[in-house]
Chains A and B, each alone.
Chain A
Amino acid sequence: MHHLSSAAPTPLTEVSTSFELKAIAPQSSGRAGFALTHALPPLAWQLAFFVGPLLFLLVLTFWSVHNFRLEPAFEMGNWKRMLTQQHVWDTYLRTVMGAAVSTVLATVLAFPAAFAIAFRLSENARRACLFLLVVPFFTSYLVRVYSWQVFLSDEGLINSLLTMTGFETRRLLNTDLATQIGYLTLSLPLVVLIQAMSLLLIDSKLIEAARNLGCGPMRVVFAVIVPAARVGITVAALFCFIFSFGDFVSPLYLGGGSSPTLSILIVDTTKAGQQWPRAAVLALLMISTLMAVAWVMTAFAYRKKT
């Protein structure tokens, strides 16, 4: 163990003066400036370009279009027109149903995979799997949807295989099934990821306790694991609903677009019809539905156990 050397210390007086405390500058403004430089720009940006446009959407619903020009106004015409048309409600219901089916499908199909990742893989395999799942979440939804056409079209891979093995060809593309496959391609990575994360967070003692009490494996899953991961499962399902509800690519390019969804309607109304106020009404209908669904689902997720 070292001892302090007994070398003569540098005389302190020589150096103290070189560290005269700097002249006082107004402290609070200097420190406030630092804080605001970090805090304000993101806030300003999101207010200007996220909140602003969404609020404007609301305002837009009251405007009118004359001779292809947008004019500020305050009239209920757009609301009346869009909300009284039968086909709008048909489309709306179709979209809700499609998203709901997709949510249930994704949640159920994802669970065994998430279970496998959380409980049946080694540490390394698990990391590799999660790594692999992050990739499709961030890449090329469009390309993957198009590629499903490769599989599902009448001359596509699946039908080719069927003919090669002597079966009849089936119409796979332009069906609701194809749309659902598209929704799955969109949401499944995220749903599996979120479910897997929340399963990984379950206290293993809980599961051990259940086993010790004599629960069979299936019972452990449904009575202990699923409830414990309820929040994660519900959040994943909510994201899935949001994605499916808002997507137009799958219903258009895989579903055929003949039975349009709300999102397709918005695209048409905006791009083809140039009727932005009417499209805005549909968009608000979409937003309010999503908010209601989100509220219900988070209330369900976070409710206290009875």
Chain B
Amino acid sequence: MNSSLVQLVDVSKTYAGAAAVHNLNLEIAHGEFVAIMGPSGCGKTTALRMLAGLETPTSGTIRIDGVDVSGRASWQRNTPMVWQSLALFPFLSVAGNVEFGLRMRGVPKAQRQRRVRDWLSRLGLDGFADRSVEELSGGQRQRVALARSLVTEPPVLLLDEPLSALDHHLSLKMQGELNRLQRELGIAFVYVTHSHSEAFAMADRVVIMAKGSVEQCGAPMDVFNRPDSRFVAEFLGNNNIFRANVVAADEVKVQLHTENGEFTSAPLISGPPKVGSSLDLVVRADRISLTTKAGWATNEVACTLVSEEFIGSTINGHLEMAGGKHIVVQLNARDLEEIDLQVGRQFYASWHPEDCHLVASR
């Protein structure tokens, strides 16, 4: 028996001939924090809404706890969602909002009140029960929305970019609290976001979607270290991508020809690629070192500093290679002690074969 809580099997959703979601396959385990990311229009929100029962899949199956819920309306599942706009009912008090789900399910009043009090207390909203929703601050309203969704103790909580409208400071605080809450409760969270940092900070597993299907999924560290397609590499940012042709390949290393030089890379996970095939070589910006003298590492390119971006503890340097292509190198404060970054200066950008990898050209 499969231990996963939620299964989307070949789920598709088309609107007037255009597919918002196409053959989506995704499994979510009990207690797992899954973040779904992707550019706008990739289908992540549609997928979430199908889980919630607010959209019906055109084809495919959705199972929760083994039960096929694809045809069920939203009110017949227990998949509450935390909305981007929070969607709190303005004509109900805080308690009225939080108890709503229980009330709809016919839970008797005394029990409802007890549960509401418990949850308000757990989320730090003691004594707020009779307050009007309009009086609350943004952070407090977030918690009411959370309490409202959690009071029915769902097996999985859906969140639709809940922090996207908050300012940076508040967002960071709420991220920590959401994380803690999820660990305490041990229920699955499905969290849709367009922010890399949110996803990587909180999730056990990250799912990157594009054009209605999954591009890549895995633990944040794995995805970050090894994007397995050009799209994901570009989406995550801070990656340099070279078009390469395979010159020679064996179990240990691959020799590549690019228009910026001959490079060596670690082999593909699936084994040595065919000689002559076209692949993309991905090098992360923080894996590249800048030196004034050549010969520091196997892969090396001569370039000129064009501009730099100061991002706090790191600096992004943009350098131009022969032929006009740009490369991004991320340096930290310590590196800068040994290097003097001046626009127009010549450097050698270099990296070891194990610090880059190949992905299939798509």
Chain A positions within 8 Å of B, measured between CB atoms, are 1-5, 7, 9-10, 12, 15-16, 18-19, 21-22, 24, 27, 30-31
Q: Which B residues lie within 8 Å of A2 (CB)?
A: 123-125, 143
A10 to B184, CA, bound (A): 11
Task: Give the docked Cα–Cα distance between A86 and B77 (Å).
Answer: 74
Are A7 and B67 in touch, CB under 8 angstroms?
no
Q: Is the CB of A21 within 8 A of B76?
A: yes
Instruction: Flag if A12 contacts B185 (CB, 8 Å).
Output: yes
Interface residues, chain B, with chain A CB atoms under 8 Å away:
67, 69, 71-73, 76-78, 105, 107, 118, 121-125, 139, 143, 152-153, 155, 173, 177, 180-181, 184-187
- The answer to whether B123 touches A31, judged by C-beta atoms less than 8 angstroms apart, is no
How far does the alpha carbon of A27 sit from the alpha carbon of B57 in the complex, in Å?
14
| Chain B neighbourhood of A9, CB < 8 A | 122, 184-185
The one of B72, B105, B184 in contact with A24, judged by C-beta atoms closer than 8 angstroms, is B72
How many whole Å from B162's CB to the nearest CB in chain A? 16
A17 CB, min distance to chain B CBs, angstroms: 10
CB pair B73 A27 closer than 8 Å: yes
- Given contact pairs A10-B118, A27-B71, A4 touches B184 in the complex (Cβ within 8 A): yes
CA–CA, A7 to B121, complex, Å? 9
B105 contact set on A, CB distance < 8 A: 19
A19 to B78, CA, bound (A): 8
Output the least CB separation between A165 and chain B (Å): 62
B186 interface neighbour in A5, A7, A12, A21, Cβ under 8 Å: A12
CB pair A5 B124 closer than 8 Å:
yes
Asked if A16 meets B177 with Cβ closer than 8 Å, knowing A4-B123, A7-B121, the reply is no
How far does the alpha carbon of A293 sit from the alpha carbon of B130 in the complex, in Å?
Answer: 60
- Tell me, in angstroms, the Cα distance from A5 to B72 when the chains sit together: 36
Is B139 a contact of A1 with CB atoms below 8 Å?
yes
B184 pairs with A16, CB closer than 8 A:
no
Contact (Cβ within 8 A) B77 A5: no
Contact indicator B77/A21 (Cβ below 8 Å) = yes
Give me the 10 closest cross-chain CB pairs, A-B, nearest first. A2-B124, A15-B153, A27-B71, A19-B78, A12-B153, A22-B76, A9-B184, A16-B153, A5-B122, A4-B177
In the bound complex, residues from chain B placing their C-beta under 8 Å from that of A1 are 139, 173
> How far is it, in angstroms, between the C-alpha of A10 and the C-alpha of B143 when the chains are bound?
18
Q: Can you name 5 A-B residue pairings with CB atoms under 8 Å?
A: A1-B139, A4-B122, A12-B185, A19-B152, A30-B73
CB distance from A16 to the nearest CB of B (A): 6
Complex alpha-carbon distance, A74 and B124, angstroms: 81
Per the bound structure, the CA–CA distance linking A79 and B3 in Å amounts to: 81
Would B177 and A3 count as touching, CB distance under 8 A? yes
Least distance between B79 CB and chain A CB atoms (Å): 10
| Cβ–Cβ contact A16 & B155, under 8 A | yes
Residues of A within 8 A of B77 (CB): 21
Are B153 and A19 closer than 8 Å at their CB atoms? Answer: yes
**Cβ contact within 8 Å between B121 and A24:** no
Nearest A residue to B137 via CB reads A1
Closest to A14 in B: B153
The answer to whether B180 touches A4, judged by C-beta atoms less than 8 angstroms apart, is yes
Tell me how far the C-beta of B120 lies from the nearest C-beta in chain A, rounded to whole angstroms. 10
Is there an interface contact between B71 and A24, defined as CB atoms closer than 8 Å? Answer: yes
- Taken together as a complex, chains A and B put the C-alpha atoms of A306 and B124 apart, in Å, by 64
Could you tell me the distance in whole angstroms from the C-beta of B270 to the nearest C-beta in chain A?
42
Q: How far is the CA of A2 from the CA of B124 in the complex (A)?
A: 6
Beyond the given pairs A2-B125, A4-B181, A16-B153, 19 more chain A to chain B contacts, judged by CB atoms under 8 angstroms and listed by A's residue number, are A2-B123, A2-B124, A2-B143, A4-B122, A4-B180, A5-B122, A7-B122, A9-B122, A12-B153, A12-B186, A19-B105, A19-B152, A19-B153, A21-B67, A21-B78, A22-B76, A24-B71, A24-B72, A30-B73
- Tell whether, in the assembled complex, residue B177 and residue A5 are in contact, meaning their CB atoms are under 8 Å apart: no
Q: Are B152 and A31 in contact (CB under 8 A)?
A: no
Q: Given A4-B180, A19-B78, A21-B78, are A31 and B73 neighbors across the interface (CB < 8 Å)?
A: yes
Chain A residues with CB under 8 A of B78: 19, 21
* Contact present for A24 and B153 (CB under 8 Å): no
In the complex, what residues of A have CB within 8 A of residue B152's CB?
Answer: 19
The closest CB in chain B to the CB of A15 belongs to B153
> Is A3 touching B153 in the complex (CB atoms < 8 A)?
no
Q: How far apart are B149's CB and chain A's nearest CB, in angstroms? A: 13
Among residues of A, the one whose C-beta sits closest to the C-beta of B152 is: A19
Chain B minimum-CB-distance residue to A23: B76
Find the A residue at minimum CB distance from B118. A10
Contact between A12 and B71, CB atoms less than 8 A apart: no
A24 engages B122 (CB within 8 Å): no
Q: Are A24 and B76 in contact (CB under 8 A)?
A: yes
Residues A27 and B139 in contact in the complex (CB < 8 Å), given A4-B122, A19-B78: no
